[in-house]
Structure 1
Amino acid sequence: MKTEISKTHFKAHALKIFRRLEKTGEPLIVTDRGRPALIVRKYTRPMPDPLMRLRGSVKRYEQPFEPVGQDEWEALE
């Protein structure tokens, strides 16, 4: 695929160009009267840090293996 195309060609073949960009990942320069005007490239989403997503979601129990009395169950209230 060429790395530069005119706006007119881009407009006429946009879907075909998008599909090709998704497959190859190569950026494309769109020109206006021979001068570079736009860069079209595949969007890559940054990967979130899994530890940051879990931070604050885990509870801590001091004695997890000790029996719990019926009066301490939140569901029974």
Structure 2
Amino acid sequence: MKNRTIAAGEFKAKCLALLDEVAATGETIVVTKRGRPVAKVTAAARLDPRIALKGSVRTLDATLAPFQDWSDWSEPEKFK
């Protein structure tokens, strides 16, 4: 991956296109103000979808846990 330097004014004008480019190429862009680096734009690390979703899904057992006592359950009138 190579680094590219760009002035803050140019970055401001082309920000969205540059972000798409960084995401697609993995290139790093160093943003400068008056020749001094002030920011670095790099592509975000891609997460394995299984890791990203970890802890966000409940199993059927956990979903039905509050309803283990079915003795007082009654069928709604519209289904009788």
Q: Same fold (TM over 0.5)?
A: yes
Runs (4+) of structure 1 exceeding 3 A deviation are none
Give the number of equivalent residue pairs.
59
Aligned residues of 2:3 and 2:28 also touching (Cα < 8 A): no
Unaligned ranges ≥5, structure 1: 60-73
Quick check: which one's helix share is greater?
2
In structure 2, what residue type is equivalent to 1:19?
D
SS at match of 1:5: strand
TM-score normalised per structure 2: 0.56
CA distance in structure 2 between the aligned counterparts of 1:38 and 1:31, rounded to whole angstroms: 7
2:31 is aligned to: 30
C-alpha separation between the residues in 2 aligned to 1:2 and 1:42? Answer: 12
What TM-score, normalized to structure 1? 0.57
**Counterpart for residue 16 of structure 1:** 17
* CA RMSD, Structure 1 to Structure 2 (Å): 3.1
- Give the unaligned 5+ runs of structure 2: 62-67, 72-80
Identity %: 29
Q: Give the C-alpha shift of residue 2 in structure 1.
A: 6.3
